[in-house]
Structure 1
Amino acid sequence: MKKYISLLVALAIIFSFNIIGARAQAIPEIQAKNADALVTLGIMKGYEDGSLRLENKIKRSEFITLVVNLMGYDADTNLDSVKVTFTDIKKSHWAYDNIRRAIKYDLVSGYPDNTIAPDNDVTYAEALAVVIRALGYEKTLKGEWPGNVINKAAELKLSANLNLDPNHKLTRGEMSVIVYNALTVKFNR
């Protein structure tokens, strides 16, 4: 009987490693598939050489641009009344107009010190908070930061195929999963 139980335990361990290994291999494939779909939809753009560099960390300015594109705000050229008061971004920054669009549509508010940190990496919790706000669910958040956005993201299935720490700095591939998942969420407006 002991041998039988030991054999079952060993088989269960081997089986679980195979599932974990298969899932780990599938994640880059899911990210690539999601990113390709976002490129096709015009939401995500590659680098000048055509690559997407999904393994690279995503900057806050890149992330804001993705959300602006996701929402279709990138075509809005009426930005004359939008004032940027953040002290750490200049008009010459490549994402300046997208940050203005994000301000206009209340997608971002920056940090308490009046900065936006456009060239810093974006964390998982920060990204989820902005996507949740863009989709109109910010007022439905319950609880304390960052658990409130993690829980709402799970409820909305924004975090499907991801299991990350709230402070994890996102890669472009991980972000493509969140933005792709957002395409299936009904707007709460």
Structure 2
Amino acid sequence: MGIKDRLFSFRKVWCIVIVTVLTVCYLFTSFTYADDSMQVNLAVLRGEKGTTVTVPLTVKNVPESGIYTCSFWVDFNPEIFSSVSITPGELIINPSDFYSNVNNTKGFVAMVFEAPADESRVIKNDGTMAYIKFTIADNASDGVSFLTYNLSRSAVFTTGIDEIKGILYNNGAVVIGKAAIPSVIPTSTPTVTPTPTSIITPTSIPTPTSNFTPTLTPTPFSTPTVTSTPIPTSTEFPVIPTLPPEQVTPISTPPTGNIQVPKDIDTHWAKLYILRLISMGVVQGYPDGTIKPDNNITRAEAITALMKAIGYGPAENPQFDFADKNEIPDWVKGFLKTALDMKVVSGYEDNTFRASRNVTRQEVVIMLMKTFKFEPSDISVNSFADDEKIASWSKRYVNTACNLGIIKGYNDNTFMPDKNVTRAELFTMIAKCFEYLDR
């Protein structure tokens, strides 16, 4: 064999060795990744008609960075189960970090965990996140009823913006009577949501909507220079009166159709909260299919969302005496009239309303607490480092909002009362108000 042939043979063997090593490494890495992937598991249990089975929802292979916030949505057959309830599991140290919503009519249970801003209760261990109790109907037939995740509404985040990818969602099942336990449980897979003619669907809370849809895409407005802090005309905030029926007319018919998940919230920390408000008709996306969750929210936009949230449509023939009344968008005027009648909001000392002005945290807290009729409180469970920056006219409302878990401080123990509020932040606060009232 010549030198050339020997070199060729050596190179051939060396190439085979390299390919083999790379293949083994790839396979090892792939299988290791699969073994180490975080899992969200629902158990498979057996039960008899008329009895209640408790299905644990567990997490496994939680990353070292931990779970800062997560949301899970589980669908079930409402014809099989007469009632369903949920309680937090051992991983939830403080029940105030856990929110849930069960719809026995539509057949779903949704849950959200959110650690406090100081990350003191971030989940870093494997274990049980929640227990879901299913009561099997007396007339249920023997068989298997699967419990499946809705992946478009399920997500896990290590921080407010860092989503954990590649999670394995293992569905569960309730085996009724003498039916055989299935050897294979169907796996939840993401589905592409078609573009429907409507982006609204009803939920368990029959909240209303209106035909209002802005045709213009709002953009962040520059904040004008304000020489004085906008304060209420009185330091005593009255209890919101019940409105006479002729002033506003609640719309009792819930919207119908399918939810179109906005394309810019798929991995957003506020996804589940936003989807809930979309399904209730409180929030509607922009014409381009987005929500723009991180845009600052204006006074006009905030008022519209708040009035829709509590079931009020726009008042008819709204008239205003504000000096800048011609600058108030037509689409908010009816809602603004309602909000003014309810004393949820007021104008500024110079008789302007400033509809396009961005809303600050302390301003939106007052609007929110008044909208949902939560009483202001002199007692606070928090002591913020910048407590002196919270205005006296908002302090008692901030106390209430923090005490109820509607709003939280930041990691450095500040509240930042004058920081602008984003659309996602307001939508989250509204959703948390509903969750508090649902308890």
What is the count of residue pairs matched by the alignment? 168
| Counterparts of residues 1-189 of structure 1 (less than 5 Å) | 22-25=158-161, 29-74=268-313, 77=315, 79-80=316-317, 83-90=319-326, 93-138=330-375, 140-142=376-378, 144-159=392-407, 163=410, 164-186=415-437
Gaps of 5+ in 2: 1-63, 69-118, 120-156, 164-266, 380-391
What's the offset of the Cα at 1:92?
5.3
What's the offset of the Cα at 1:101?
1.6
The structure with the largest helix share of the pair is: 1
Residues 22 and 92 (structure 1 numbering): CA distance in 2 closer, same or farther, change over 3 Å? Answer: closer
Structure 2: distance between partners of 1:24 and 1:57: 17
CA contact (8 A) 2:160 2:269 kept: no
CA contact (8 A) 1:57 1:172 kept: yes
Residues 29 and 112 (structure 1 numbering): CA distance in 2 closer, same or farther, change over 3 Å? Answer: same
Residue 432 of structure 2 aligns with an amino acid whose one-letter code is N
Over the aligned positions, Cα root-mean-square deviation in angstroms equals: 2.9
Residue 115 of structure 1 aligns with an amino acid whose one-letter code is T
Residue 150 of structure 1 aligns with an amino acid whose one-letter code is V
What's the offset of the Cα at 1:108?
1.2
Structure 1, 143-152 or 48-57: larger mean CA deviation: 143-152
What's the offset of the Cα at 1:29?
3.5
Residue 336 of structure 2 aligns with an amino acid whose one-letter code is I
Residue 177 of structure 1 aligns with an amino acid whose one-letter code is T
Q: Which has more radius of gyration? A: 2
Deviations along 1:73-125, whole A, 9 cap, x unmatched?
12x54x35x54222223265331111112112222112222222100111111
Structure 2: distance between partners of 1:157 and 1:53: 24
What's the offset of the Cα at 1:30?
3.3
Structure 1: distance between partners of 2:404 and 2:429: 11
TM-score scaled by structure 2? 0.35
Structure 1, 98-107 or 32-41: larger mean CA deviation: 98-107
SS in 2 for 1:167: coil
Gaps of 5+ in 1: 1-14
Identity of counterpart residues, as a percentage?
23
Structure 2: distance between partners of 1:126 and 1:88: 20
Q: Residue 116 of structure 2 aligns with which residue?
A: none
SS in 2 for 1:69: helix
The structure with the largest strand share of the pair is: 2
What's the offset of the Cα at 1:155?
1.4
Residues 120 and 186 (structure 1 numbering): CA distance in 2 closer, same or farther, change over 3 Å? Answer: same
Deviations along 1:110-165, whole A, 9 cap, x unmatched?
22222221001111111110111112235x343823332221101122115x6451
